[in-house]
């Protein structure tokens, strides 16, 4: 079992804020590899009549899926954990080549009180990998700023075709703790 | 390389696209994208020159966005092996308008003809079926190719998958546009979407 060392007692509302923003931007396809930090948002997506949640076997599938969705006239967003960013690297080359709107929301591990050393290497390079791959990075570290960050990210991704990743920091989602 | 009784890749792809009507066709990285070009350039052809392993997922995104259009992915064994997990993703979503054809020459033809996993062990039809794509066919005759080409237009019975054993002989390179934005925007325009 695990506890969230830094989480509030009540269920967080920021995933609802994200869902509402995605809905307003007419996001239709939501590929994801599950992460605990995304669980509430995934529930909202799977319960939505306008969005389709699409579980992936690996994150790079989601990049290719969003290219196809856009070609067919739909917007999408990729949900993943920081470890999954590494799985995407070559497929990220589709974004500048095909020039489709790319928005991804990444729950962070390997930072802010991480207990698991295995999460740290990829968590430490997540932002750099995106930047080297031509994806702009925005970060959200507290619940109050989530709506504004999501609004900015969705606007630049969908309106300006600026590939954008929002890193949802471990400080926001709460550090995972398995230790005794 | 050449074995007896194996199908010619260009004949297979020509037959798949002969009566294409409104089909959107996606060609996987490698010779498959050239085969689609050889069958005739078309506003609804999605040519891949990279993103190895992504062809089937591009097909899934398109098929979900356009459920009333037949979407046909034509790719090679190496490209499909790299994206094998996407068969599980497609088997879960079950888009009834998506068809996938693997042109299986049991080799990485573009890189010197090194043998692929399908030459000795991997059974992609078995993988597709086990991933939930019930209509998964091993094809070895042109009659079966033609039957599959007809099935592509049945939007109620997919997803479907076919592995076609083809002759490994190299054929003339017939190259499509390499401009990704042109390729995507041409398809979007043909589907009635405006530029942003």
The parent domain of residue A159 ranges over 3-177
Given a cut of 60, is residue A2 above it in pLDDT? Answer: no
Q: In degrees to the nearest 10, what's the CA dihedral of A34, A89, B56, B169?
A: -150
- Section A45-49 average pLDDT: 98
Q: What is the CATH number of the domain that holds A164?
A: 3.40.50.970
From the list A58, A69, A71, which residue is nearest B46 (CB)? A71
State pTM to two decimals.
0.95
C-alpha B49: how far from chain center:
14
Q: What is the pLDDT of residue A174?
A: 86
Q: What is the pLDDT of residue A5?
A: 45
Q: What is the pLDDT of residue A179?
A: 72
Q: Can you spell out the DSSP letters for B144-191?
A: HHHHHHHHTT-TTS--EEEEEEB-------------HHHHHHHHHHHT
Helix, strand, coil share (%) of chain B residues, nearest 5 = 40, 20, 40
Given a cut of 60, is residue A17 above it in pLDDT? Answer: yes
From the list B51, B93, B180, which residue is nearest A64 (CB)? B51
Structure-model confidence comparison of residues B169 and A19, the more confident one: A19
Q: Give backbone dihedrals phi and psi of A90, rounded to 5 degrees, phi first.
A: -65, -35
Interface of A with B in 14-73 (CB under 8 A): 28-29, 52, 54-58, 60-73
Among chain B residues, the shortest Cα distance to A94 is held by: B51
* A128-139 per-position pLDDT tens digit: 999 999 999 999
Given a cut of 60, is residue B10 above it in pLDDT? Answer: yes
Helix (H, G, I), strand (E, B) or coil at A112: coil
Given a cut of 70, is residue B4 above it in pLDDT? Answer: no
* B123-174 per-position pLDDT tens digit: 999 999 999 999 999 999 999 999 999 999 999 999 999 999 999 988 999 9
Q: What is the pLDDT of residue A180?
A: 66
* B27-69 per-position pLDDT tens digit: 999 899 999 999 999 999 999 999 999 999 999 999 999 999 9
Tally of CB atoms within 10 A around B92: 13
Min Cα–Cα distance to chain B from A115, Å: 30
Structure-model confidence comparison of residues A5 and B26, the more confident one: B26
Best CA proximity match to B73, nearest among B36, B119, B19 = B36
Please name the residue that has the structure tokens 């509302």: A13
Q: Does A92 touch chain B (CB under 8 A)?
A: no
A47-80 b/e (C-beta count within 10 Å ≥ 16 → b):
ebeebbbbbbbbbbbbbbbbbbbbbbebbbbbbb
Tally of CB atoms within 10 A around B193: 14
End-to-end CA distance of chain A: 10
pLDDT > 90: percent of chain A: 88
Q: Give backbone dihedrals phi and psi of B180, rounded to 5 degrees, phi first.
A: -60, -40
Q: Does A100 touch chain B (CB under 8 A)?
A: yes
Among chain B residues, the shortest Cα distance to A158 is held by: B196
A71 with B58: Cβ contact below 8 A = yes
The residue of A98, A134, A156, A160 whose CB has the most chain B CBs within 10 angstroms, and thus the best one to mutate to test that interface, is A98
Answer yes or no: are the C-beta atoms of A174 and A112 closer than 8 Å: no
Structure-model confidence comparison of residues B24 and A9, the more confident one: B24
Q: What is the pLDDT of residue B141?
A: 97
Helix (H, G, I), strand (E, B) or coil at A179: coil
Among chain B residues, the shortest Cα distance to A53 is held by: B93
Interface of A with B in 124-163 (CB under 8 A): 159, 161
Q: Does A74 touch chain B (CB under 8 A)?
A: yes
Beta bridge partners of A78: A104
A69 with B183: Cβ contact below 8 A = no
- Section A14-26 average pLDDT: 98
Q: What is the pLDDT of residue B132?
A: 98
Q: What is the pLDDT of residue B163?
A: 98
CA dist., res. A33 & res. A62, Å (int): 9
Given a cut of 90, is residue A145 above it in pLDDT? Answer: yes
Q: At what angle do helices A39-46 and A14-24 cross, to 10 degrees?
A: 40
Residue ranges of the domains in chain B?
9-190
Out of A7-21, A33-47, A49-63, A89-103, least confident range: A7-21
Given a cut of 60, is residue A39 above it in pLDDT? Answer: yes
Please name the residue that has the structure tokens 């992460």: A35
Please name the residue that has the structure tokens 């579980």: A55
For residue B95, give both structure tokens.
């888009």
DSSP-derived letter for residue B5 is T
Residue A57 φ/ψ region, left for φ over 0, alpha for ψ in the -120 to 50 degree band, beta for the rest: alpha
pLDDT > 70: percent of chain B: 98
Q: Give backbone dihedrals phi and psi of A136, rounded to 5 degrees, phi first.
A: -70, 145
Q: What is the pLDDT of residue A175?
A: 74
CA dist., res. A17 & res. B164, Å (int): 48
Q: Assign A10 a pLDDT band (cuts: 50, 70, 90).
A: low
* B126-139 per-position pLDDT tens digit: 999 999 999 999 99
* B110-124 per-position pLDDT tens digit: 999 999 999 999 999
Cα atoms found within 13 Å of the Cα of residue B151, Cβ hemisphere only? 20
User: For chain B, how many residues are written?
Assistant: 196
Among chain A residues, the shortest Cα distance to B89 is held by: A56
Domain B9-190, what fold? Rossmann fold (3.40.50)
Cα atoms found within 13 Å of the Cα of residue A79, Cβ hemisphere only? 27
Domain count, chain A: 1
């Amino acid at each position: 079992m695990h506890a969230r060392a830094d989480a509030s007692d009540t269920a967080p509302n920021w995933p609802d804020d994200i869902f509402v923003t995605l809905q307003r931007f007419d996001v239709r396809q939501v590929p994801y590899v599950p992460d605990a930090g995304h669980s509430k948002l995934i529930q909202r997506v799977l319960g939505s009549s306008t969005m389709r949640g699409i579980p992936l076997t690996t994150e790079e599938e989601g990049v290719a899926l969003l290219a196809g969705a856009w070609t067919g006239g739909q917007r999408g967003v990729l949900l993943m954990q920081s470890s999954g960013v590494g799985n995407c690297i070559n497929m990220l080359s589709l974004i500048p080549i095909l020039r489709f709107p790319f928005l991804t929301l990444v729950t962070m591990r390997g930072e802010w009180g991480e207990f698991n050393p295995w999460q740290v290497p990829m968590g430490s390079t997540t932002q750099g990998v995106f930047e080297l791959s031509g994806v702009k990075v925005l970060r959200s570290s507290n619940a109050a700023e989530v709506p504004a960050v999501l609004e900015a990210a969705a606007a630049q991704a969908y309106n300006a075709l600026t590939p954008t990743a929002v890193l949802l920091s471990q400080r926001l989602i709460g550090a995972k703790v398995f230790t005794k | 390389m050449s074995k007896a009784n194996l199908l010619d890749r260009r004949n297979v792809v020509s037959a798949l696209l002969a009566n294409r009507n409104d089909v959107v066709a996606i060609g996987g990285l490698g010779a498959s994208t050239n085969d689609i070009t050889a069958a005739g350039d078309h506003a609804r052809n999605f040519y891949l020159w990279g993103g190895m392993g992504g062809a089937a997922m591009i097909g899934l995104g398109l098929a979900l966005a356009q459920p009333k259009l037949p979407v046909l992915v034509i790719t090679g064994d190496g490209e499909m092996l790299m994206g094998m997990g996407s068969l599980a993703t497609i088997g879960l979503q079950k888009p009834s308008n998506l068809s996938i054809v693997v042109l299986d020459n049991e080799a990485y033809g573009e890189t010197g003809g090194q043998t692929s996993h399908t030459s000795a062990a991997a059974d992609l039809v078995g993988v597709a079926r086990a991933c939930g794509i019930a209509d998964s066919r091993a094809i070895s005759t042109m009659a079966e190719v033609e039957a599959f080409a007809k099935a592509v237009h049945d939007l109620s019975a997919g997803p479907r998958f076919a592995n076609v054993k083809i002759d490994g002989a190299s054929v003339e390179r017939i190259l499509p546009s390499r401009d990704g934005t042109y390729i995507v925007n041409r398809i979007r325009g043909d589907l009635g979407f405006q530029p942003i």
